[in-house]
Structure 1
Amino acid sequence: MAAATNWAANLEKLGLELPAVAAPVASYIPAVRTGNLVYTSGQIPVVNGELPFTGKVGAEVTTERAQEAAQVCALNALAAVHALVGLDNVVRIVKVVGFVASAPGYNDQPVVINGASNLLGEVFGDAGVHARSAVGVSELPKNVAVEVELIAEVR
């Protein structure tokens, strides 16, 4: 078994706190565990029940603002993991999938999803380095700019 971790303390050092788990907007649950893996549902950038990041990236939303949205999505995903198994039981982040609502011709989706990846790296160090996909899409739920899901290995 891996050594005990204190990822929650890392969040605190970064001045961050996990939000309440966002209520599903359809028929699904925020996260599910199978074996040593936790899969989160796609997390949208909900902040205190509001959606401050709406529109298409490359049009109404800048790349920098979309990176902030990706960070919020990652925090929401971590909240879902924490509610299911406890954040300090995470061994590593295995995979991140990011969806970016993109204006025609916009192709910096990987730069946007760096917002989530960089946050995970800051929280988990080497255990936050992960495989990743960054996909441009024409629409996302509730007109949000970014959606992120992740897979975490847990003890």
Structure 2
Amino acid sequence: MGFWKHRCSVVAGVLLLSVLSACAMNRDTTSDGAPLARQITASGQCGFTAPGLVYMDSRERLDALSEARGVNLVAVENHDFEREHLLLVAAGRKPSGGYGVALEESRIREGVLAITVQVRSPAPDQAVTMALTSPCALLAVTAEGWSRATVSGPGFDELSFQR
């Protein structure tokens, strides 16, 4: 009887560890319950001619982007880079106004931060500016728990980077 009791305890322990490790590998919030990614701001003019990602893990990288692209990122003036890094998601050149990029969801799966965005298009009867635009969204992403990120979604082909 002792053998079976011990064996059941071992099996129960292995099952518990499996569940806990799966939770650690797949999650959609930080350890303190905050979202893995949040949208800080969006713009219709970011200056990117093609879809792209710009990862910023320091104030210096943020300043370099602002200087190189002329993108005004005042919304992150006092950003805490210890806790969150920044990710600029650019949709590329669009033929008119009315386009935008929006964060849908984020999840960490086995060390990969998977971000889903949506590129919104203007409605057929919507009045829009007749000028080339380059919409983007600025996201704050958790600084911990991932080594690779992917961004994809409706209207946005998958892009990824390794850090």
Query: For this structure pair, what is the TM-score category when the shorter chain's length is used for normalisation?
Result: under 0.3
TM-score after normalising by structure 1 = 0.28
Normalized per residue, the structure richer in strand is: 2
Larger radius of gyration: 2
Q: TM-score, normalised by structure 2?
A: 0.27
Between the two structures, name the one with larger relative contact order (CA 8 Å, sep ≥ 6): 1
| Bigger proportion of residues as helix | 1
